[in-house]
Amino acid sequence: MLFHSIVFISVFLPAVFLAYTVIRGQNARNILLIAANLFFYTYGQEAYVLLLILSASFHYFIGRMLSGPRRKLCLGFCVAADILLLFVFKYLSFAVGAVNQAAGTHITVPQLAMPVGISFFTFQALSYVIDVYREPELCEKRFDRVFLYITLFPQLLAGPIIRFKDIRGELAGRCQSLENVSCGIRRFIQGVIIADTVAKIANGVFALPSGDLNCMTAWAGAAAYTLQIYFDFSGYSDMAIGLAQMFGFHYKENFHYPYMAVGIKDFWRRWHISLSGWFRDYLYIPLGGNRKGRKRTILNKYIVFFITGLWHGANWTFIVWGLMHGTCAVIEDAARGRAAGRPGKFWKHVLTIAVVITTFAVFRSDSLGSGLFFIGKMFAGFSISASSRAALLRLMTPFTVTAFLLGIVFSFPVLEKLRTMHAGSALRLAGDAGILLLLFLSMAMISSGGYSPFIYFKF
């Protein structure tokens, strides 16, 4: 079930919220949410709801076993099982295809549909087990609380990845206040209208024949996709945070204006914070971080960014995208402390955005070859034909250009500062009216089938 479906907005969410509000007692509310979570996942994913149940149960029992004598063995078994699960559903076909291409073999594997959200709920469940291994006092004896933590529907399909210790207290007891509900509804409604509009530019450019691509169209398409993926995923994260807040849960922010970043490392402190934090705490630091010398630090960074790219999907485009970011992070470390010739903050920001847009061109492409060709056009496609101009003019309508410009503006904390400056004023009321307008506009787009699936559902 999707957040922007009529069934979710008109039936599922109101019914669950009303029942949750009427029911008294935290245990009864937890049971209601567990039932709602399973129904939410079953709707469209009937074949894999048992996999979700088994995964949540498996990690609960592993967590209990970590208090026993063979803690390290239990942890290793859990990590191996999770890696195997992800490999079978996400990477088996890709790996066999790579072997066939390299060795000239013709091995065939069954084509398995990937369970939606498998990367997110597996990483979230694994973080619980690792945290319990490190801090045994985090072990939760009640099965329903661990099960609810792993399967809670706001973040189940596309994150953010929540740490158990961050909501442990709220699993046991939480307050459903009017302030939480209203704030949650407001964040949910903000949605992804900008993402769906600029997607028309991005999808149109990436679908152009190679002869119609040039420097101007390529940069327009890559920049539009950069805005699309940000507003798509940050919009989903806002929806998830808002939904959770309606039921008394408080999730940490998953984005913090990443396009304000000054450097790639700063970008990853702001982009998909729950994932970058996961890799930092559970992969980079255990590998040794920056504590084992310069060469080992460089290797660790490349390993983390390689896995980060691979996490997004079984395609060389994602792997190369991750390695490109890893290379930029290594270069930043090498340049640190060298005052001579260093650009100012503004130019560092411009360079960061240029790198982000360029690398997202590879990320968006269907194959590595087409991605590199696209980048070539961004930097060397100076010939502008009549057909390429006509194609760009078709895509850059007043509506899409307006959304593009608003996307640039809203990539910075403009609205946040206005709300702070004019809290309680007529401007605040106008903002609330704007939110209601967005609700009606969103419902109209949903009814007409105008919304696209969230990008991160593929990962």
Distance CA 84, CA 87 (A): 5
Contact 276, 297 (CB under 8 A): no
Distance CA 161, CA 121 (A): 8
Among 379, 341, 424, 428, which residue's Cα sits nearest to residue 219? 379
Interior CA angle at 164 toward 163 and 165, to 5°? 95
CA torsion sign, 437 to 438 to 442 to 443? Answer: negative
Among 377, 374, 352, which residue's Cα sits nearest to residue 362? 374
Contacts of 69 (CB under 8 A, 6+ apart): none
Distance CA 455, CA 441 (A): 21
CB atoms closer than 10 angstroms to residue 91: 15
Question: Helices then strands (H, E): number in the chain?
Answer: 24, 0
Question: Helices in 8-108 by DSSP H: which ranges?
Answer: 13-22, 26-42, 49-65, 71-86, 92-103
Contact 99, 105 (CB under 8 A): yes
How many Cα atoms sit within 13 Å of 345 on the Cβ side? Answer: 3
Distance CA 172, CA 383 (A): 63
Give catalytic residue positions: 312
Contacts of 280 (CB under 8 A, 6+ apart): 304
Distance CA 177, CA 179 (A): 5
Radius of gyration over alpha carbons of the chain, in Å?
23
